[in-house]
Amino acid sequence: MNLRRSFALAWIALAAATGCGAQMAPIHDLATLKHTTVQIRAAGAKSHQFDVWLALSPAEKSQGLMFVRDLPADRGMLFLYDRPTEAGIWMKNTYIELDIVFIAADGRIVKIAERARPHSLQTISAGQLVTAVMELKGGEATRRGLKTGDLTTWLMPP
């Protein structure tokens, strides 16, 4: 079975389990999550900074920004993976539009999915292996002129 088909089957199983009344894990208070600053160096050496919560555990990644009703323009969430993966994001229980930024192992943005639709169960992926995914307020990527190829950097908190 190829990787893409395995990935699709895993998402279908997750969607089926969630839709069949499986209990949801306790909701994480975002204030309790570790956070850091992501810097994005855009073309022309212009730099943008975002204060982001870190989604490190499977439960934190599963929740993401679900249930958030407002997100400041300079905030977001960064999902980190131990090894390159074909990460997929969906918008279940997400009340606001998000820009989904997929980041390769070298820190370069490889795809930006703009204004992901709230509550959608459609899986959004980069179509290639990534080591991080960042969620930003919907429209911020365009407003700030972020593009594929821009370089991201961040430091891990202790």
Per-residue pLDDT of 41-91, as tens digits, reads 987 778 999 999 999 999 999 999 999 999 999 999 999 999 999 999 999
For the chain, first and last CA: distance in Å?
39
Distance, in Å, from the CA atom of 65 to the CA atom of 55, rounded to the nearest integer, reads: 10
Q: Let me know if residue 109 belongs to a domain.
A: yes
Q: Let me know if residue 8 belongs to a domain.
A: no
Looking at every residue in the chain, the average pLDDT score rounds to 85
CA 150 to chain centre: 16
Q: Let me know if residue 48 belongs to a domain.
A: yes
pLDDT tens digit sequence for 28-37: 788 889 999 9
Q: Three-state DSSP class for 15? A: helix
Q: Let me know if residue 2 belongs to a domain.
A: no
Burial class (CB in 10 A: 0-12, 13-18, 19+), 8: middle
Residue percentage of the chain with pLDDT more than 90: 73
> Looking at residue 130, what is its pLDDT?
98
CATH number of the CATH domain containing 61 = 2.60.120.1140
Q: How many CB atoms lie within 10 A of CB 1?
A: 6
Q: Let me know if residue 13 belongs to a domain.
A: no
Q: Let me know if residue 94 belongs to a domain.
A: yes
In Å, what is the CA distance from 110 to each residue of 4, 9, 19, 26, 139?
18, 24, 31, 32, 17
Q: Let me know if residue 132 belongs to a domain.
A: yes
Q: Let me know if residue 39 belongs to a domain.
A: yes
* Number of domains within the chain: 1
